[in-house]
Structure 1
Amino acid sequence: MRLTTFTDFGLRVLMRLAGDPARPFTTAELADEFRVSRNHLAKVISALAAAGYLETRRGGGGGAVLARPPEDIRLGDVVARLEADQALVECFLPGGAACTLTPRCRLKVRLAEAEAAFIADLNRSSLADCVYHPAKV
């Protein structure tokens, strides 16, 4: 299974914030640190906030912080939420029936089970298990 860069950066943002939970991080700071587009990261942070993983504040001293303790954020739930619009295969899409094998396909069920097992395995870990602590200079 391959995760989108959107999900990759979502996980990075969460890990980074978990490493310094009392400090708000701005989108610009994180974009510079991760060497990615500020606009792209703003969309990631917005999605994480909409999902209830982050709280964001504007203005001086503003930025993003975790909305709940890292122990309460399951990795599989984050991945499932951020990948919700990404179908593993075409037939998983709403109305996805372009494949001529669909009426007798025996692979779709196996893929669905594998995807569910992947998420379940990730849910065995929380964000607390993956906290990022940058090297102190």
Structure 2
Amino acid sequence: MKLTNYTDYSLRVLIFLALKKDGELSTIQEIADTYHISKNHLMKIIHQLGQLGYVETIRGRNGGIRLGKDPKEINIGEVVSKTEEDFYIVDCFKEGGSYCVLTPACKLKHALHEALQAFINVLSGYTLEDLVVNKEELQQLRLLAFENL
């Protein structure tokens, strides 16, 4: 199972914002520069994260973005489920996917579905707060990356 860049970047944005002091605003450019990610791509991600309530966007000259929820209220499994386009590990998972002659008796499809559920269940055991317990170390790395631009 491989997550899309969209989901990866969504998680990175949330981690970045969780490293900020309470209420401190960040800019999309700041995040893009730190992670070397396209600003245009991040705009789409932040828009969706805002719609989902994970981030709050403040418009205007002194605007920016910040977390819309407390990090302990942001469940990682939920974020992945809401940002990942699909979880079609194999083509037969898709409705209208290619037909396999083994489908009527296939046990692989069940095993893969069970594995996918286990993957989501493990991620659901973590919150954003769990991912930033080493906040000082992460903050130093973030600042170092930003200084080396």
TM-score by length of 2: 0.83
In structure 1, runs of 5+ residues without a counterpart are: none
Separation in structure 1 between the aligned mates of residue 103 and residue 50 of structure 2, nearest angstrom: 37
What's 2:6 paired with? 6
How many angstroms apart in 2 are the aligned matches of 1:41 and 1:86?
22
Cα distance in structure 1, aligned partners of 2:29 and 2:96: 39
Distance 1:102 1:49 in 2: 40
Relative to total residues, which structure has the larger helix share, 1 or 2? 2
In the comparison of the two structures, how many residue pairs are matched? 137
Helix, strand or coil at the partner of 1:56: strand
Q: Secondary structure at the match of 1:65?
A: strand
Q: What is aligned with 1:36?
A: 37
Larger radius of gyration: 2
1:106 matched residue in structure 2: 107
Match of residue 134 from structure 1: 139
- Cα distance in 1, alignment partners of residues 86 and 47 from structure 2: 16
Distance 1:130 1:123 in 2: 12
**How many angstroms apart in 1 are the aligned matches of 2:34 and 2:69?**
23
CA shift for structure 1 position 86: 4.5
Query: How far apart, in 2, do the equivalents of 1:31 and 1:86 lie?
Result: 27
Taking the aligned partners of 1:23 and 1:130, their CA distance within structure 2 comes to 19
Structure 2: state its 5+ residue gaps: 145-149
Q: Using the alignment, how far apart are the partners of 1:97 and 1:47 within structure 2?
A: 31
Sequence identity percentage: 44
Distance 2:108 2:54 in 1: 34
Deviation at 1:88, TM superposition (A): 2.1
Secondary structure of 2:139's aligned partner:
coil
3-state SS of paired residue (1:134):
helix
Compute the displacement of 1:96 (Å).
Answer: 2.1
1:1-137 correspondence runs (5 A): 1-20=1-20, 21-131=22-132, 132=135, 133-135=138-140
Deviation string 1:28-53 (CA, Å, 9 cap, x unpaired) is 11111111111111111112112221
Inter-partner Cα distance in structure 1 for 2:113 and 2:30: 38
Deviation >6 Å, runs of 4+:
none
| Aligned counterparts of 2:139 and 2:24: Cα–Cα separation in 1 | 14
CA RMSD of aligned residues (A): 1.8
Report the Cα offset of residue 106 of structure 1: 1.2
TM-score by length of 1: 0.89
